[in-house]
Amino acid sequence: MLRGGGYLDEKNENGNVDDSIDNKGNGNAENAGNSKNGREKHAFDWVKARSACTLPKIFKDLRLRVEQDVKTRNSLRLKTAVYEFAVAESDGGFKVLLKSDALSTAVTFTLADHAILVRDNTGTTMFEVTLNFTDKGECKLMVGGEEREMWQVQRMALEELMFRSL
């Protein structure tokens, strides 16, 4: 039976009513508000999803995660360790410092117009992080043309500093 919005009341193989859009192309915006058992069917809100996929928002999240990485790494040091890690403000961003009597080095994260720049202690760019809002409505981090998860970006930036510099 066809209901007002172009949905069919057909039973599926389990005997339950299948409230999906019929195969005749009746799934337009006018039909998107019909409800099943009092629940509204909504189209994907791409504007809201895209507005969350911005460099400033990702940069803020990255900083919070990097600060947690620093806390975790410091908690793993031996009690006799003569080094420590810290997060400090830097021009247009922040940096992670490795401080010891013998060594002082850092990785700097900067928010630029087009990317998040990650630089080593000499100011040389290690890599840039850009964003890609996909056709599936997902916000993806991109490094060198490849999709990366946030933790992968963190590792790429900090692994040398936190584990190989000592």
Q: What is the pLDDT of residue 134?
A: 96
Taking 60 as the threshold, does the pLDDT of residue 68 lie above it? yes
Report the chain's terminal Cα–Cα distance, integer Å. Answer: 72
E-state strands within the chain: 10-11, 17-18, 35-36, 39-40, 83-90, 93-100, 104-111, 116-119, 125-133, 139-143, 146-148
* Model pLDDT for residues 95-132, shown as the tens digit of each residue: 999 999 888 899 999 999 999 999 999 999 999 999 99
Confidence label for 72 from pLDDT (cuts 50, 70 and 90)? very high
Give domain limits for the chain: 10-43, 49-164
Taking 70 as the threshold, does the pLDDT of residue 33 lie above it? no
pTM higher than 0.85, yes or no?
no
* Rounded CA separation 73/76 (Å): 5
* Rounded CA separation 36/28 (Å): 16
> Which stretches of 76-149 are DSSP H helices?
none
Between 3.30.920, 1.20.1260, 3.40.50, 1.20.120, what CATH number should domain 49-164 receive? 3.30.920
